[in-house]
C-alpha cells in the first residue's frame, strides 16, 4: 500500500478576516429522498446561520451554472448574464426612460459609435439613408429596398474585411469603390 496523500493544501482553515461579514459561510447541508409522482428525487436542504451566507452560496451556485454577475455599462447596476451570451447592458428600464431598456439604448449607442469611428460604416449608412428616403417618397418599393439592403450589407462586409488588411492609400480606394458600388442602382 502507498502513502496517504497530503490533502492539507486543499483544506481552507483560515478566516478571510477578523470580520464575520467576510468569513466563509457556515452552511449545514442535508440530502433527503422525496417521493414524487414520477419516482424518487434527491433534494438538498441547506441551513444557514446568516442571510449573508445564503446569498453567498446562491451566488456561487449561479456562477457554477455559468451565470456571471456583470455591471451594466449604461446604468451601473448589477445583473446576471446568462450562460453562453455576452452583453454589456441589463434589460431593465434605463434611467430617465419610460420604455427603453439599457440594452436598447446600449445597442443604439454602440452602433452609432461604430458608424462614427469607421469610414466604411459611414459610407454604408449614407447610402442606406438615401435609399430608404426613396422608399418614403414612393420612388422605390420596400421589396426593392430590401434586396438593395441585402446586397449593400455584403458589399459593406467585403469592404470591411479588405479595409483591415491594407494601408491608407488603399483604404481610400476601397471606400471610393464601396461608394460607387452602393450607389449604382
pLDDT band at 184 (very low <50, low <70, confident <90, very high): confident
The confidence score (pLDDT) of residue 9 equals: 47
pLDDT band at 99 (very low <50, low <70, confident <90, very high): very high
| Reported pTM | 0.56
Contact 98, 105 (CB under 8 A): no
Taking all residues of the chain, what is their mean pLDDT, rounded to a whole number? 86
For the chain, the domains span 22-65, 118-182
The mean pLDDT of 47-62, rounded to a whole number, is 88
| pLDDT tens column, 5-46 | 554 544 444 445 556 555 677 788 899 999 989 999 999 999
The confidence score (pLDDT) of residue 21 equals: 55
Amino acid at each position: 500500500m502507498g502513502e496517504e496523500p497530503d490533502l492539507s493544501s486543499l483544506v481552507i482553515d483560515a478566516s478571510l478576516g477578523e470580520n464575520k461579514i467576510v468569513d466563509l459561510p457556515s452552511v449545514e447541508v442535508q440530502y433527503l429522498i422525496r417521493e414524487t409522482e414520477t419516482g424518487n428525487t434527491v433534494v438538498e436542504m441547506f441551513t444557514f446561520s446568516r442571510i449573508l451566507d445564503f446569498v453567498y452560496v446562491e451566488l456561487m451556485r449561479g456562477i457554477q451554472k455559468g451565470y456571471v454577475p456583470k455591471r451594466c455599462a449604461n446604468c451601473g447596476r448589477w445583473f446576471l448574464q446568462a450562460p453562453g451570451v455576452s452583453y454589456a447592458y441589463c434589460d431593465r428600464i434605463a434611467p430617465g426612460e419610460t420604455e427603453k431598456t439599457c440594452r436598447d439604448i446600449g445597442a443604439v449607442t454602440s452602433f452609432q459609435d461604430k458608424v462614427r469611428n469607421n469610414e466604411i460604416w459611414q459610407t454604408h449608412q449614407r447610402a442606406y439613408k438615401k435609399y430608404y428616403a426613396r422608399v418614403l417618397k414612393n420612388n422605390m418599393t420596400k421589396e426593392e429596398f430590401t434586396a438593395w439592403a441585402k446586397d449593400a450589407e455584403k458589399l459593406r462586409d467585403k469592404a470591411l474585411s479588405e479595409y483591415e488588411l491594407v494601408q491608407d492609400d488603399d483604404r481610400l480606394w476601397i471606400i471610393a469603390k464601396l461608394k460607387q458600388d452602393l450607389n449604382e442602382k
